[in-house]
Amino acid sequence: MVDHLVFCTVKAEATPEEVEDLLSSIRALKDDVPSVVDLAAGEDFSGRSGGYTHALFARFEDRAGLQEYLKHPAHLAVVEKLDARTAGRIVVDYEF
């Protein structure tokens, strides 16, 4: 199994509607990309995130599934929204 984690900081000027649209687009990837085993995304509520405001978790059967996801048009559209609405992000992929 492969886990894909993304932590991002939503820009202060992003409207609540833009943030909800971004989260909805991310969550839709679970149905849009066949290789996704599980996916969740949301806003940090703990205050322990080191400045990151939102996170995404996605799981795949293997590295090939992750690569399929990364190249999928639905994922690329989400990346465009992330680029427009976030100030920065960090990505971690690991296999277990």
Q: What is the pLDDT of residues 41-83, one digit of tens each?
A: 999 999 999 999 999 999 999 999 999 999 999 999 999 999 9
CATH 3.40.50.700 fits domain 2-95? no
- Alpha-carbon gap, residue 56 to 49, rounded angstroms: 13
The domain spans of the chain are 2-95
Averaged confidence pLDDT in the chain: 97
Tens-digit pLDDT profile for residues 9-19: 999 999 999 99
pLDDT of residue 88: 87
Average pLDDT over residues 75-94: 96
Given a contact cutoff of 8 angstroms between Cβ atoms, the answer to whether 19 and 85 are in contact is yes
Q: Does position 1 have pLDDT exceeding 90, yes or no? A: yes
Using alpha carbons only, give the angle 1, 23, 84 rounded to the nearest 5 degrees. Answer: 105
pTM beyond 0.85, yes or no: yes
